[in-house]
Structures are given as structure tokens and as C-alpha cells.
Structure 1
Amino acid sequence: MPRFETIHGIVEPVEGYRLGGYHPVHLGDTLDGRYEVIGKLAFGQSCTVWLAKDQDDHQVALKILKADVSEASRELSTLLRLSAPGADHPGQNHVIQLLDHFHHDGPNGTHLCLVFPAMISNGEAMTIRGKPREAEYVRNISKQILLGLDLLHAADIAHCDLQPASILFTVAGLTQNELLLQPPELSTVKWLEGVEADSSAPEYLVASQIRRGELDDADASTLLVRIGDLGGAISSRNRDTVPVAPSALRAPELIHGEPWDKTIDIWALGCLIFELATNEPLFPLGTFGLGKDQIDREHSRLINQLLGDEKRTREHFTRYLRDRLPTDFGGEDLWLLVSFLLSMLQIEPKKRLSVEKLLSHPFLMGVVDG
């Protein structure tokens, strides 16, 4: 039963503030006696993410999980596994690092809180303005994402939720306290008439304060890219679990309910790199007002239309990609990028190249390891 007036801004669902739901946060709150909330970064179905400063005035990202998902969350164990002492892998710097974790008791239950380095932007914010992307930019970010994914796959972990919002960007060598946010946009929480107000909801919700286009003019060679949001990651021991992946980035085997493995990440990566390169989704899938079967049929149609004809796929895909890249992208780079993406976007999972082989693809030649 609804308890609040509907809020139409781009914020988390206000009805998510209930027993077992989101923890109510206000700007200026302090959690665990040492993390002061200074801004809103993001929200998801299972969490809110805030910019905070610690006791040394260093900025961090504070992810607060809903109470009803905190106990069963695999994210903490995955992060601890990846950061175990002695781990030595070139992808270590390209997966988000866990700095701290704690549990917080609030009016809606006990919440797992994860602390990460603050990053300037994410892939979703980077594609909003449609800035043309040069080949060097695509090469550089692709190499870093692949190194991070190689770390996950080497640990037999599938990310399962690769999408623009889970790819985090900052500038290498950036000192603390340099993440600038937009002024807060507050939406007042209003209780419905006849509903008794309590402490389960905050006084207001805050829209994301991440500045869009903040890194548009950054030198591609200075960007540091990390894979984040490991809440949906699944190890080989839990392959009976159905991945919760964004509809338009699901591999064909997920659409059809078939057995899957970590090659679903390879398919999603092909879709992701296409979007980061062109600022457009590979499969522009409308979902509003449609049932799951309708969405699945339309998704399959789009995949088959672009990739289903083996004789014409390369020619068709090349034209489709070229029309969405800047005119000065370069002919040779275009051909290499087509080859690179098509080695991931194989309808049959066994035909997709592994991360290890993708890292040696000619498109990435000349990129220095990060």
C-alpha cells in the first residue's frame, strides 16, 4: 500500500523506504562515526551511493545496501576475495577497490555499507552528451576494462551486470578532494493523508550530483577506468542463479533461458564498448509497457537483424558502426574495431573470444598496460 506522494524526479523509488528497504540518509549525516555524507552519487534497485569524506578529509564513495539484501549479498565476499593479500594481477587496478565495510543499524533494519575510492564519472554519464570518440579513447578504455574483467574471470567470477553505469572513470594521479558535484536537487518526501509518519523515510530525496561531461575534454591517456558494482557477480559455484542483467545487454542464451557461463560478460562487453564508442546502445530496446516475452522477441529480432546473417554480418555491422563514429576515426581503426567487437558479439557462446585472447587483439596494439 502506498505511503507517500509520488516523486517524479530521477531518484530512487520513495516507496523503497520501508522495513527492509533503503536507509534514510540526509546530507551532513555521519555513519560509523567517521564518514560524513556530502553528496549523492547514484542509486540502484538495492542501494544508494553517496559521496562522503572520512576523518582525514579524503573523499570516498559510500554504498548503503537495502536491509533486506544486506545479509544475502555476495558483493562483500567477492570484493574480499579479489583483494586477498598476495593477489598480483595487472587488472587489480581496474576493478574497484574495497577500502572499508561496516554494518549500520537504522529504522529499516541493518544495512551493509561498503566504502570505495571516489571516482569522477561513469560510463552512463560519459555517453549522455554524445561527444565524438577517437580510436585512441576506445582503445584505452577497452584495454582497461578487459584487464579488470580478466581479474574477475581468472578468479572464476562472472560480473553478470556489465553496463555503462558500472564502468567508473577518474583521472590517474588525481589527488583526494577534487571530485566536484552539481548543487543538490532535493525532492521533498510527502506522506499521504491518513498515513502516520515515522523515521523510515528521509525528509527529502536527492538526485545524482555527478556532473555530466566532466571528463569530456580529458586526455584519453590520463583516464583510469575501473569495473564497479559487483553486487550481481556470480562464481562458478552458483551458476544455477539467473543473472540479473540489463535487458539490452543480455546475451542470447540469457534471453532464451539456456545454460550460461562467464562468456555472457564477453557479449555484454561488446555491447558496452560499442556504446562507449558511439554514445548509442547497440540494441535500442524499448521496454515501457511491454511484457517480458515481447521484450525478448524484439531483442532477438534486433540481434538477428544485425548479426544473424553470417555472409553479410561483417559488411552490415561495419556500415552500422561507421555511421555512428566520427568521420576522422580512421579506416584502419574502423576495420580493427569491427573485428574486435564481432569477436565478442558471437551468437554462439563458444565462438566468443576469451578475455586473454581479446587482450592481444590487433585493435589494442600500442596501448600501454595500466
Structure 2
Amino acid sequence: MQHLTRRLLRRGPSPPRTFATSGFRLIPPSEKVEEETLAWYTPASFYPVRIGENFQDRYQVVSKLGYGTSATVWLCRDLRHHSYVALKVCVPGYPSVAREKAAFARLASLGTPPILQKSLGHFTINGASGSVHDCFVLEALEFNINLCRAFLPGQLYDLVLWRRVAREVIQALDFLHSKAKIIHCDLRHENILMRGFNDKIHQGMESIEAARPSARKIDGDRVVYETPDRVPFPKEGFKCAVLCDYGEARCSDAGNTYTDDIQPFLYRAPELALGIPWSYPVDIWNAGVMLWHLFENKSLFNPYNQQGRESNGLHIHEMMEIMGDPSPEFVRRSIITDHSCFDENGLWKLQRIKRKKERSLESLETQLEGEEKAEFLRFMRRMLQWEPEKRATAAELLRDPWFSKGSD
């Protein structure tokens, strides 16, 4: 889910704000805007939320936070509790809606910890042609962890800050896996947001939208907004990183395995690439590759062909360059009977894809040296293993001595 939801805290009472109806940049009708660029977009699929609109006689829309494959997300003021919330307005019948409902129900029954985004409520609204849109009322959070980079010295994460974010991501996975029995399945920078100390950013966003309205396209009675990029950085910093978006999450009480296609392509676990049934360890691999990308500011893998298309063969081959060959026994777990990359003995057969020289975690890690680098790579290798059984669990990673090094 590509959105920039931000932070909720209580504020003093204030009346509903009146938003400007002029002074904005008008986008030409021929230009596609944000959710309209999605291949499956139709006017009936995305509810036409308007800034200033009031839902449930309670949630007044003050700014757009973003959009994704299955929803648009909006910053709202809760006029009853005098606070800010994020309103996620979903596409009707999209599979992620039911998954997200189930995950939020589990988390609510356990008491959602601060490192996981909390649902504050749910309702439905009627759209065009009789469509029904599910709406989730969520905590309003702040920047995603990648956008924070713009405010960092040299625009790079240092080891102390990265270690803290990594620990909070692993803590979130530990709660999901150990307590809630949920596999997240979609760890990406956009789904890890920062929790702030107050609501100044949201106040600022509301004021900016009122004074300088967002660019928009008007198509009959439908308005499509651009997400504003004018957001102040909080001088107070952040409390913690928060794992969000459970639209791909699978509830797995009995240790079920799955074969669904999940995860961002760059971050897919070996099980996905090889067609092997998967479970909780896919999240550990996903976290490792995503956190590497965050720290190095460069993806560990680049599995795209010359036409820029995703290549499963290239992806597996790059894994082999870094981790060595998978065991034939592991490859033979694949439920794909006509595997294009390996022969019947589990040996690599795509001779047209040649191995690159000097490609290893050591050569790809560029920010650290000496013992610090060695310890960082040791920790990463606990997550980046071919066989899911050999990857550390989230609970085991939290006990790793690497997390106790340095000072936060």
C-alpha cells in the first residue's frame, strides 16, 4: 500500500474548518492522476472522497495522504474526540479488505502494541452504481521510514538509528508471529511509518491545505486530488517505527503453509521464487532484504531483464551469487513440476545466465568497516538463508547480541 499516513494525538477542541474552493492548480482532464494511473482503475472502484467532506457526522477530511492498489487514504479530524485519524477508503470487493479486517480483529483482541498500527473503527459507505466501500479508521502516523532519509545528514541512515528501526520492525514481527499468529507478507518501506510525539505535523498539513489547496482534476461531479508533498519535519523527532497495512496478511493458527503470490518482487523470499509452500519465515527474509535496502540505500537484488521486466530466473541467480547454490533437496520441495531454472536433480540449468564476479554481501556492503561490518553481516545472514528452517525467528533475532551494541 503506497501511502504516507501520519500520527494521532489529542488536541484541544476546535470547530470544523472551512476549506478553500479556489486557488488550486487545475489538472487537465486528459491527464491521469494518482489512482487513475492504476491499470484496473474505474470511476466506480474508487470512492470520490472530497476534502472538507464529513463521514459518519464525525470524520472531516482535511488532506489526502496517498493511494494504493486497493484504497485511498485521507487525513481526517475526529470532531468528536478532537484528534486526527487516517481514513482508508477501500475498493469494493478487493481481497485485501477481508484480510485486513481479520488481522485488525485479532490485534484488537490482544491489545495492539505501539509498534503496530491500530484500527479505531470501521464503517461502510455507498458509492456509484450501488458499490459498497469499506472504510477503516486508523491511527494517523507520520513519514514512512524511507522518506525520513530526506531529513538525515548525508541522506543516509547511521548504524544507531538503523539498529533502532530494525529492532522495532523485528519486535512488530515477533508480536504478529508469536502472539497474533499473523504472517504480514508485505514488508516494504511504505508500510513502516513513524510514530511522533504530538500532532504538529497534522496541524501543519491541515493549515497548508486550507491556505494552499492541493492540485486536482475535476471530471463532472468527481474530483481526483494529488497528494501534497508540503509536509514539515517534526523537530521533536519520533517515538518509534510502526508496522502498518495488513491487506496481504495471512492468519495462520495451525502453522498452515500457503502458495499464494505475495511480497514486493525485489523482496521475495526464495520460497516464492522457487514455488515452495511458505509460512512465517517469509517475513524474516522480507525484513532482512528491506532493511538492507534502507541502510545501504540500494536494493540487494536487481532481478530485471533488459526490457525492465521482472525475471524470476535472474532473481534466483542473484540469490545464488550471494548465498551459494541451494541444496538439491530444497529445490525439490518446489510444487512446480516443470521448473525452468533447475533440472530434475535440483541443479542449475540456465547456462545463458552467467555469474558475476565478486558479488557477495561483503562486497555489496559499503558503509561499514572492520568488526562493525562483520557483526552487521553476521546479523543479516541470520535472516538471509535459503531454507526457511535455518532463518532465525523474530524472537531469536531480538535476543541477538548485535541489538545490545551501541547506544540509542
TM-score (structure 2 length as normaliser): 0.74
Q: CA deviation at 1:24?
A: 0.8
**Would you say 1:178 and 2:198 are equivalent positions?**
no
Q: 2:126 is matched with which residue?
A: 105
Secondary structure at 1:123 match in 2: coil
Gap runs ≥5 in structure 1: 191-196
Looking at structure 1, the residues matched to 371 and 360 of structure 2 have their Cα atoms a distance apart, in angstroms, of 17
After superposition, the Cα gap between the structure-2 partners of 1:239 and 1:141, relative to the gap in structure 1 and judged at 3 Å, is: same
Q: Deviations over 1:275-328 (max 9, x none)?
A: 22122222234479555xx52122222222222269xx999312311x2x2xxx
Q: 1:160 is matched with which residue?
A: 185
Q: Deviations over 1:27-48 (max 9, x none)?
A: 1111122111111112111111
1:62-141 matched pairs, under 5 angstroms: 62-69=87-94, 73-84=98-109, 87=110, 92-107=113-128, 109-127=131-149, 131-141=155-165
Deviates more, 1:137-146 or 1:294-303: 294-303
Instruction: Tell me which amino acid in the other structure corresponds to 1:259.
Output: P
Q: Deviations over 1:156-204 (max 9, x none)?
A: 2100001111111122xx22353344755424155xxxxxx6x5xx223
Looking at structure 2, the residues matched to 241 and 309 of structure 1 have their Cα atoms a distance apart, in angstroms, of 23
Contact 2:149 2:156 in 1 (8 A): no
Gap runs ≥5 in structure 2: 1-27, 327-356
Instruction: Tell me which amino acid in the other structure corresponds to 2:223.
Output: E
Aligned residues: 338
Q: CA deviation at 1:209?
A: 3.9
Specify which of 184, 205, 209 is matched with residue 225 of structure 2. Answer: 205
After superposition, the Cα gap between the structure-2 partners of 1:169 and 1:69, relative to the gap in structure 1 and judged at 3 Å, is: same
**Would you say 1:257 and 2:285 are equivalent positions?**
no
Contact 1:38 1:51 in 2 (8 A): yes
Q: 1:316 is matched with which residue?
A: 360
Q: 2:315 is matched with which residue?
A: 299
Specify which of 361, 364, 370 is matched with residue 403 of structure 2. Answer: 364
Contact 1:251 1:268 in 2 (8 A): yes
**Would you say 1:224 and 2:244 are equivalent positions?**
no
After superposition, the Cα gap between the structure-2 partners of 1:305 and 1:46, relative to the gap in structure 1 and judged at 3 Å, is: same
Secondary structure at 2:119 match in 1: coil
Looking at structure 1, the residues matched to 199 and 275 of structure 2 have their Cα atoms a distance apart, in angstroms, of 45
Tell me the C-alpha RMSD between the 2 structures: 3.2
Secondary structure at 1:16 match in 2: coil
Q: CA deviation at 1:255?
A: 1.4
After superposition, the Cα gap between the structure-2 partners of 1:13 and 1:229, relative to the gap in structure 1 and judged at 3 Å, is: same
Secondary structure at 2:201 match in 1: coil
Contact 2:143 2:194 in 1 (8 A): yes
After superposition, the Cα gap between the structure-2 partners of 1:210 and 1:268, relative to the gap in structure 1 and judged at 3 Å, is: farther
Q: CA deviation at 1:123?
A: 2.5
Q: Deviations over 1:102-142 (max 9, x none)?
A: 11112251111111111111134234677121111011111
Q: CA deviation at 1:75?
A: 0.6
Contact 1:11 1:207 in 2 (8 A): no
Q: 2:345 is matched with which residue?
A: none
Contact 1:11 1:208 in 2 (8 A): no
Bigger radius of gyration, 1 or 2? 2
- Percentage of pairs with the same residue: 26
Specify which of 158, 161, 175 is matched with residue 151 of structure 1. Answer: 175
After superposition, the Cα gap between the structure-2 partners of 1:188 and 1:143, relative to the gap in structure 1 and judged at 3 Å, is: same
Q: CA deviation at 1:332?
A: 3.3
Q: 1:29 is matched with which residue?
A: 53
Q: Deviations over 1:37-85 (max 9, x none)?
A: 111112111111111111133111111111122796221121111121x
After superposition, the Cα gap between the structure-2 partners of 1:71 and 1:309, relative to the gap in structure 1 and judged at 3 Å, is: closer
Looking at structure 2, the residues matched to 79 and 368 of structure 1 have their Cα atoms a distance apart, in angstroms, of 34
Structure 1 residue ranges, 4+ long, deviating more than 6 angstroms after superposition: none
